[in-house]
């Protein structure tokens, strides 16, 4: 079932066009990977899905992006509500300079989700457990989040993202700053999370895309070249450019 449906999305940074007529269907409770060489527009597309491009003054988005029939690329959209539903994990772990507890409680607090301290404790515990971090930090929830290791910080960011029970989580190269063991932990986590949420992940690592995703889209120079089941993209792509990229001939 389709969760997000993008049609003819064009994105401009000032006068420079970064995305050309991208149309894509993202299925519910699946992992969709976006791959492609640096600067191909995959992160730009990802940031359209939770309107993070609003932060960039010169950025302009055209086209239609519908999530459950709600038009995302509309002036009338309540961005705060959207971002509550669409969480994001960034390339570099970016926990707030607050305690581990406060980091996870951040979203529930600003959206007024928890009614009592007990409820908040419960949300924090569940989120940390889902992010596979609970056992490592349960005795030091009042320590500063930035004091954790890189992999732990990234899992803390994932816990922060899932604390408000989003329907979609966007991941922008979540493992590029992590070592192989931390990467494996995050990938395992993604596999668990997809039972409940839709995940869109941008990655540089083709093996990672192959491991974690069910659908893969290949971007090149701002265009979506090919989109389909991951197996097909990696074993038997239709497009020659995709074939070249997958086999490492460019990019």
Partner 1 sequence: MNLILVTFIILLAFTSYYFGRKKALVIQSSQRLTALPKFYGYYLAAWCAAPALIIFALWSVFEPSIVKTFILQDYTDQNLTKNELQLIYTKVKALAAGTYTGNITNFLDESANKYIQLKGIANSAKVAIILAILIFSLSFAYRSVQKNDRMREPVEIFLKWVLFVASLGAVLVTIGIVFSLLFEAIRFFQAVKIFDFIFGTHWYPAKTFVRDGQPDPELMKDAFGAVPLFAGTFFIAFIAMCVAIPIGLLSGIYLSEYAGRGVRKYAKPIIEILAGIPTVVYGFFAALTVGPFVKEIGNAMGLEVSAESALAAGAVMGVMIIPFISSLSDDVMTAVPQNLRDGSYAMGATKSETVKKVIFPAALPGIVGSILLAVSRAVGETMIVVMASGLAANLTMNPLESTSTITAQIVVILIGDQQFGDPKTQSAFALGISLFIVTLFLNVIALSVVKKYREKYE
In the complex, the residues that contact partner 1 under the rule CB under 8 A are 50, 52, 55, 57, 79-84, 87-88, 90, 92, 94-98, 106-107, 110-111, 144, 146, 157, 160-161, 164
Sheet containing strand 2-13, edge to edge, reads: 16-27, 2-13, 59-67, 70-71
> Minimum CB separation from partner 1 for residue 57, in Å?
7
> Minimum CB separation from partner 1 for residue 153, in Å?
11
- 41 vs 95, which CB is nearer to partner 1? 95
> Minimum CB separation from partner 1 for residue 34, in Å?
17
- Residues 36, 220: contact at Cβ < 8 Å? yes
- 208 CA to centre of own chain: 14
CB atoms within 10 A of CB 39: 13
- 132 vs 144, which CB is nearer to partner 1? 144
Residues near 89 by beta carbon (within 8 Å), at least 6 away in sequence: 154, 157, 158, 161, 169, 170, 171, 172, 174
The tokens describing 154, both together, are 């990234």
> Minimum CB separation from partner 1 for residue 75, in Å?
17
- 10 vs 146, which CB is nearer to partner 1? 146
- 109 vs 214, which CB is nearer to partner 1? 109
- 93 vs 217, which CB is nearer to partner 1? 93
- Residue 77 φ/ψ, nearest 5 degrees: -65, 140
> Minimum CB separation from partner 1 for residue 73, in Å?
17
Query: What sign for the dihedral angle of Cα 217, 76, 12, 158?
Result: negative
**Helices 100-110/150-162 angle, 10° precision:** 20
What does the alpha-carbon distance between residue 219 and residue 198 come to, in Å, rounded to a whole number? 20
- 83 vs 223, which CB is nearer to partner 1? 83
> Minimum CB separation from partner 1 for residue 83, in Å?
4
């Amino acid at each position: 079932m389709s969760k997000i449906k993008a049609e003819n999305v064009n994105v401009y940074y000032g006068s420079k066009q970064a995305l050309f007529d991208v149309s894509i269907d993202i299925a519910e409770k699946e992992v969709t990977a976006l791959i492609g060489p640096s600067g191909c527009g995959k992160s730009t597309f990802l940031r359209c899905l939770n309107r993070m491009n609003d932060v960039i003054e010169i950025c302009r988005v055209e086209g239609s992006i519908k999530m459950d029939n709600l038009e995302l690329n509309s002036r009338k959209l309540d961005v705060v509500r959207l971002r509550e539903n669409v969480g994001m994990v960034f390339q570099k772990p970016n926990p707030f300079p607050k305690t581990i507890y406060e980091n996870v409680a951040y979203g529930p607090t600003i959206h007024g989700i928890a009614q009592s301290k007990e409820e908040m404790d419960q949300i924090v515990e569940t989120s940390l457990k889902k992010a596979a971090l609970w056992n490592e930090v349960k005795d030091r929830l009042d320590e500063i989040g930035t004091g954790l290791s890189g992999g732990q910080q990234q899992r803390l960011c994932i816990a922060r993202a899932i604390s408000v029970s989003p329907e979609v989580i966007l991941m922008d190269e979540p493992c590029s700053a992590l070592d192989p063991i931390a990467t494996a932990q995050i990938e395992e986590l993604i596999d668990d999370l997809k039972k409940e949420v839709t995940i869109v992940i941008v990655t540089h690592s083709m093996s990672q895309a192959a491991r974690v995703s069910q659908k893969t889209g290949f971007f090149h120079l701002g265009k979506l070249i090919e989109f389909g089941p991951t197996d097909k993209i990696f074993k038997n792509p239709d497009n020659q450019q995709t074939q070249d990229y997958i086999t490492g001939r460019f990019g």
